[in-house]
Amino acid sequence: MSDSDSRSLSLRASVVTIGSFDGVHRGHQAIVRVAVQRAQELGIPAVAITFDRHPQESVQPDNAPAYLTTLTSRLRLLLENGVQDVLVLRFDREFATLHPEAFLQSVLQRRLNARRIVVGRDFRFGHQRMGSVEYLQAVQARFGFEVEAVPDVLYRGERISSSRIRQALLEGEVQEASAMLGRAYALEGVVVRGQQIGRKLGYPTVNLSLHAPQLVPRDGIYAGRLLHERTGNLYTAAISVGVRPTVDGTGRTIEAYLLGFSGSLYGEQVHLAFFHRLRDERKFETLHALKAQMDRDVQQVANLMR
């Protein structure tokens, strides 16, 4: 459920968790799991509150991070993790100036009648991030809710966070990112027509145009899978991210050769998941040398994705 589609959400009681939830990673999943458990114990719905954009887009747009998930996938993942409803709030400049108490009154008290709030220990909200777990605990008796801060989820001894996952992807460490996400990292978009260079080399590719400004992993060659959204079909994919220096590419592309697939996916919605990084992108002296390397890449992908 979303504010943006004019439907209102008004409940007699609820357990609420709040956050950007970009990526819905293992840390987010732990928070949602606790919220759902508390809701079941109380016999009331669990509701997640999230935002239509990353808060930085309104506060410091030049420093706004690229997304790990589209809004649609974020909502789907939150619902799959057990909440009954998701309330999407528009995070514009006006909302960014909202005092924490006004937010508690207008959303948590009047609309959701929150009985318990479940958040991460570093949760901040409201104008200039004045709201915190400590603030919520100080006002909980007055507003009639209880606050529960969920401990961090660690990976390799450090806290899992969206920013840490972004850094791993920028370094091409897709397996590290996937370990923190709890699933393979995936880009979402529509298949568009490319320059047909792969077809000339015997490796026709699908070219991806992204739905949202998602973070694209570091340039290179990857093994992964493509999900065709309409049919649910999965294909093993040899993925190339980069500027195609051998053929003097003029812009960054995301393309994938689908093993065992023949046909056209132009205009189709797909998810492209990254499982393993094979190598850096490099320039070859001839197209023949490039094709020989592509032969080896595809064989390696087939071996890795068995």
pLDDT means per 10 residues, the chain with 306 residues, are 49 95 98 98 97 90 93 97 96 92 94 96 90 96 96 98 98 98 98 78 91 96 98 97 83 94 94 98 91 96 97
What's the confidence (pLDDT) of residue 4?
A: 42
Name 235's Cβ contacts closer than 8 Å, sequence gap at least 6. 225, 226, 228, 258, 259, 260, 261
What's the confidence (pLDDT) of residue 72?
A: 95
Name 152's Cβ contacts closer than 8 Å, sequence gap at least 6. 27, 120, 121, 159, 160
Task: Please tell me the pTM assigned to this model.
Answer: 0.92
Domains with residue ranges and CATH for the chain: 8-159 (3.40.50.620), 184-304 (2.40.30.30)
Q: Which two three-digit tokens encode residue 126?
A: 């409201």
Q: Which two three-digit tokens encode residue 207?
A: 């070219």
Strand pairing class (46-51; 253-258):
unpaired
Element (H, E) at 51: strand 46-51
User: 253: closest CA among 192, 173, 169?
Assistant: 192
Is 174:221 a contact under the CB 8 Å cutoff?
no
Q: Report the C-alpha gap between 251 and 244 in whole angstroms.
A: 8
Q: For residue 234, list its beta bridge partners.
A: 227
Q: Report the C-alpha gap between 210 and 188 in whole angstroms.
A: 6
